[in-house]
Amino acid sequence: MTEPLRWLQTNIREPDAATDPKVLAAEAGRFRANVLHLNMGGIAATYPTSIQFHARSSGLGPGQDFFGVALKEAHARGIRVVGRFDFSKTRKDAFDAHPEWFFRKADGSPAIYSGLYSTCINGGWYREQAPRILAEALERYEVDGLFFNMFGNQSRDYSGSFLGHCHCAECMRRFQAMFGRELPDNAEDPDYRKFMFVSSREVAREFGRIIHEKRPKAGYFNYLEEWTDGIMSESNTAVTRPLPLWPYMSSDNVNRARNSQPGKMSVNLCMQFVDYAWRFTTVPAQEIALRLWQNIAHGGALAFAINGTFEQQDRQAVEAARPVFQWAAEHADYLAQQEPQARVMLLTGPDNAAYRGLFRFLSEEHIPFSVSTNLDWIGKRPVDLVITASADTAALEPYIRAGGRVLIAGPAAGSKDVKGYVRVRNPKRFPSLGLTTLLLLDGPFTELPPAPGAPLTLVPPSMFGPPELIHTDIRDTEIPALITRENGRVVWLPFNIGALYYRLSLPAHAGLLRDLINELMPRRQLSTNAHPLVEISLMQQKGRTLVHLVNLSGHSQTGYFAPLPMTDIRISVEGEFAGARALRAGQQVALSRSGGRSTLTLPQLRDYELVVLSEAVSAAMRK
């Protein structure tokens, strides 16, 4: 939280423990990393452990200490070391000696993958043996942090096969005690999800206690938010992932973490590989660079992960990441302690398509926004507008009563699907819809009582074939498709416009959102002529304002190419600043000031630029 992290993860395989750890540390130094995230133990120890059933890596020869040497060499270069553990699986000798420690399928059989047996979060491996292993590791090595992969019981294995719920004796006992009924079979069950949540957090808390007791200055990381010192996430790929690709993955992960848990740093690992079955084939170099720039642009750690050592058979990802790390090291003073400055809050929700559609729209409109999973920010930070896809706004009422403005962009629960239109009854109110009076409606729509004079109304389904009959029976209603209250401070679109925009990208849906936001928030923090595929974030740091620009124009369908250079990007920002400097370009940028705003024109944008606006001009200077 006090200096920018340049986090480099290497998932060392068992044979890699036979390689020279000095070479690994030297390569991390050449990368200009200041954190090396390195395998330590769990499935395979890369140091000479003495704990029973904690298997040493097969690549670790007699008297060798791969982790210990790597730690010493990294520290000599000023690089912190985070040890990686994975307690989700272990060897057959442990299973034979203590079968009660392990995951059991509904039929009682163990879950075995690549010869390893899945452990259970409620069993003795996690709750008794792992603490012994951690105590040994922390007492023996001056690690700067520990990370835990695959924390807790996984519902699917690496091949995607469904494992179901754990039916070990301890899980059945604990579930019965917690819910007063037998542990369910493998069907989805909300009680079982709660059970796993509670179980994993119990162990997470204990791991954190051990780490902070043994090494008070060491960080604690896994993929949980509770009890940990950072918010870990991944920007990754999978060959079966539904299209369209989500080019904002890093921005999404970091923005959400930094604003939902502002007291913790976001460490979003940019994974180099295409999918589990192809760990040594990398995603496009431009995708790696894009993910890394997005990490920086939203105030997160610069974090990159590879499998094995730096002797990669496909070096595209490594060579794409290295110059980003090196640039970040040279400009570290501008990346430390960044705090989001956006005053629009986008709330997450259960409908991912709706959320992504709103996220993408805001980015394309260059409206600085923060993402949050919670309402802890109410009363703690300035928020001009809240946007949510959930029609349940009960928790937002304190914010609304205090004068807050809210755009609700979604139907109420239980609404019926409608394949119709939304009629624009008041075209003058919606200047972005000058060429249409009909908007596509496909999905849940909340039907309310007729409201004569409503600016948007429902057009219910009508005939769409054959061509001779299409919509000859079309009819208008007075059922409102736009509802306002609190003297216009709260606006509700009772249909899923975010999901429609995510799926179809229709200009009419974007235009309606644009016009409503302009009504609710007529004065924007930032305005620009930048292309919609230029992502812009607004951060504050050490009295300076930072404007990050990330060029997404190289993304097309499933491909990532070199982005098209953009020129003469005009940006107007709230506040009167003394000067502006483009760090990537290495040049001052002419700046004009008027009416409480500063305006500049960036001559060129390649893949990324950081414009530093110096401290605000005082009243005396303006005179």
* Same domain, residue pair 323 and 236: yes
Whether 389 contacts 551, CB under 8 Å: no
Among 501, 520, 539, which residue terminates a domain? 520
Is 551 part of a structural domain of the chain? yes
* Same domain, residue pair 465 and 540: no
- Residue carrying the six token digits 């913790």: 264
Among 339, 355, 372, which residue terminates a domain? 339
d(CA 608, CA 614) in angstroms, rounded, equals 19
* Same domain, residue pair 15 and 51: yes
- Residue 194: φ, ψ to 5°: -65, -40
Whether 560 contacts 598, CB under 8 Å: no
* Same domain, residue pair 472 and 580: no
* Same domain, residue pair 290 and 259: yes
Distances (CA, A) of 5 to 1, 80, 296, 465: 9, 10, 10, 59
| Tokens of residue 231, six digits | 């918010």
* Same domain, residue pair 204 and 119: yes
* Same domain, residue pair 203 and 70: no
Cα dihedral 251, 254, 257, 259, rounded to 10, equals: -70
Is 146 part of a structural domain of the chain? no
State whether residue 204 is helix, strand or coil: helix
Whether 28 contacts 81, CB under 8 Å: no
* Same domain, residue pair 238 and 355: no
Q: What is the CATH number of the domain that holds 313?
A: 3.20.20
- Residue 594: φ, ψ to 5°: -165, 140
* Residue 344: Cβ within 10 Å count: 21
* Residue 499: Cβ within 10 Å count: 24
Is 115 part of a structural domain of the chain? yes
Among 191, 219, 247, which residue terminates a domain? 219
∠ CA 242-246-247 to the nearest 5 degrees? 145
Residues in the chain: 623
- Residue carrying the six token digits 């390195």: 38
Is 111 part of a structural domain of the chain? yes
Q: Please name the residue ranges forming H helices in 365-462.
A: 397-401
- For the chain, the average pLDDT equals 96
What pLDDT, on a 0 to 100 scale, did the predictor assign at position 155?
86
With a cut of 50, which residues of the chain have pLDDT below it? 619-620, 623
* Same domain, residue pair 410 and 383: yes
Spatial CB neighbours of 396, under 8 Å, sequence gap ≥ 6: 375, 378, 386, 388, 404, 406
Is 140 part of a structural domain of the chain? no
Q: What is the CATH number of the domain that holds 512?
A: 3.40.50.880
Whether 569 contacts 541, CB under 8 Å: no
What pLDDT, on a 0 to 100 scale, did the predictor assign at position 618?
55
What pLDDT, on a 0 to 100 scale, did the predictor assign at position 616?
75
3-state per-residue secondary structure call for 132-169:
HHHHHHHHHCCCCEEEECCCCCCCECCCCCECCCCCCH
Spatial CB neighbours of 498, under 8 Å, sequence gap ≥ 6: 351, 353, 354, 355, 356, 357, 358, 361, 389, 409, 410
User: Tens digits of per-residue pLDDT, 115-140?
Assistant: 999 999 999 999 999 999 999 999 99
d(CA 426, CA 438) in angstroms, rounded, equals 12
Sign of CA dihedral 305, 310, 316, 320: positive
* Same domain, residue pair 508 and 363: yes
Is 134 part of a structural domain of the chain? no
Distances (CA, A) of 323 to 209, 288, 303, 446, 492: 38, 11, 13, 51, 46
**How many domains does the chain contain in total?**
4
Spatial CB neighbours of 200, under 8 Å, sequence gap ≥ 6: 121, 151, 152, 153, 224
Does residue 244 have a cis bond before it (omega within 30 degrees)? yes
Cα 541 to its chain centre, rounded Å, is: 22
Q: What is the CATH number of the domain that holds 614?
A: 2.60.40.1180
- Residue carrying the six token digits 């595209």: 316
d(CA 248, CA 597) in angstroms, rounded, equals 29
What pLDDT, on a 0 to 100 scale, did the predictor assign at position 617?
67
* Same domain, residue pair 117 and 12: no
Which structural domain range is residue 311 located in? 1-85+229-339
d(CA 99, CA 96) in angstroms, rounded, equals 6
User: Tens digits of per-residue pLDDT, 419-478?
Assistant: 999 999 999 999 999 999 999 999 999 999 999 999 999 999 999 999 999 999 999 999
Whether 346 contacts 387, CB under 8 Å: yes
Is 143 part of a structural domain of the chain? no
What pLDDT, on a 0 to 100 scale, did the predictor assign at position 187?
79
What pTM value is reported for the model? 0.96
Residue type, 371: V
* Same domain, residue pair 415 and 326: no
Whether 384 contacts 470, CB under 8 Å: no
Is 129 part of a structural domain of the chain? no
- Residue carrying the six token digits 């902070």: 212
d(CA 119, CA 131) in angstroms, rounded, equals 14
| Tokens of residue 348, six digits | 């997450």
